[in-house]
Structure 1
């Protein structure tokens, strides 16, 4: 269930503010309000001062949606980790109970020319909050275990393989295979276009 609460809009780190923006959670139209894209969170405050706030780690995906077959208006689309209460029947009907639930939020500004600026601000703020699961463990240093030989602990070193492939490529690029150290280099320019006789 989506709970709208009354709270003040963010007052620090606001990267974009868009008035007259409709908010949709799943298919539920919450009406028009003001969207705040701040460094700390995304907030929407309706005309009645009720609204909601999202922390960036809960935003799994954000995009500009211009496909009018998917939604009747161009919008800033957000996929949120977790069920916001509107899609409970849908997940059980599709047999996707083992997957983490997700919800969709769409922000539709009256002025569609502001969508690019909204997306840019969202991207900049999202980058300030990297997903901890995406931050790689620097201890592995490019070494991965072979999934088929996991029990034996076989490892595959990505950098070593790339260096090895690079060495073979250098050997192949050194010539056509028939060139030897004492051979004279091929005459250059022999395949240039001849100048027309006028």
Structure 2
């Protein structure tokens, strides 16, 4: 659960700062304030003090919406996981039970509606860039596991290939010994002539 608390200024570089942005959380109008899209958090401030900061790994989806059923003007539609509660409020949703009815996802709808709709696209792009800078830790762990398995498979392949090459060299030497064709190389490496090798035999 994410709790909307008193505003904390972003500590990371700010990619976009946009004033006059209306925020609607789960169909509840929180008012008009300033949006800060920083490299670590998505923040919003109203009246100089109150507001919220959300980590990007809590943003499951963000999109541009022109649906009047979502908002009366063009906006950014965001799904957050987990659910967002306002500071001082408790979660009023029923607790999960053991019934067969599938519980609703632990999500919240967050709408960012700038008073000037021409700012919607720039807000969307800024959020997209910052989200890419902050991949989900679970996805990173999965990728590391995949790389680990890939490296292990590559090492096994190289080892197996080396064994195959070694076996081929041994087979080739054995065949050349049988055909008495190895004496030239042997003599060259040891500074002897062919007949010396034959005499040794």
Match of 1:105 in 2: 110
Q: Between 58-67 and 77-86, report the one with greater CA deviation.
A: 77-86
Match of 1:120 in 2: 125
Higher relative contact order (CA 8 A, sep 6+): 2
Q: TM-score, normalised by structure 2?
A: 0.61
Contact 1:82/1:103 (8 A) holds in 2: yes
Residue 83, structure 1, aligned to residue 83, structure 2: yes
Contact 1:87/1:103 (8 A) holds in 2: no
Q: SS of 2:102's equivalent?
A: coil
1:96 corresponds, among 92, 102, 116, to: 102
Residue 139, structure 1, aligned to residue 144, structure 2: no
Structure 1: runs of 5+ lacking an equivalent:
142-198
Match of 1:39 in 2: 39
Match of 1:27 in 2: 27
Match of 1:17 in 2: 17
Q: Calculate the aligned-residue CA RMSD, in Å.
A: 3.0
Structure whose alpha-carbon radius of gyration is higher:
2
Q: TM-score, normalised by structure 1?
A: 0.61
The aligned runs of 1:146-157 (5 Å cut-off) are: none
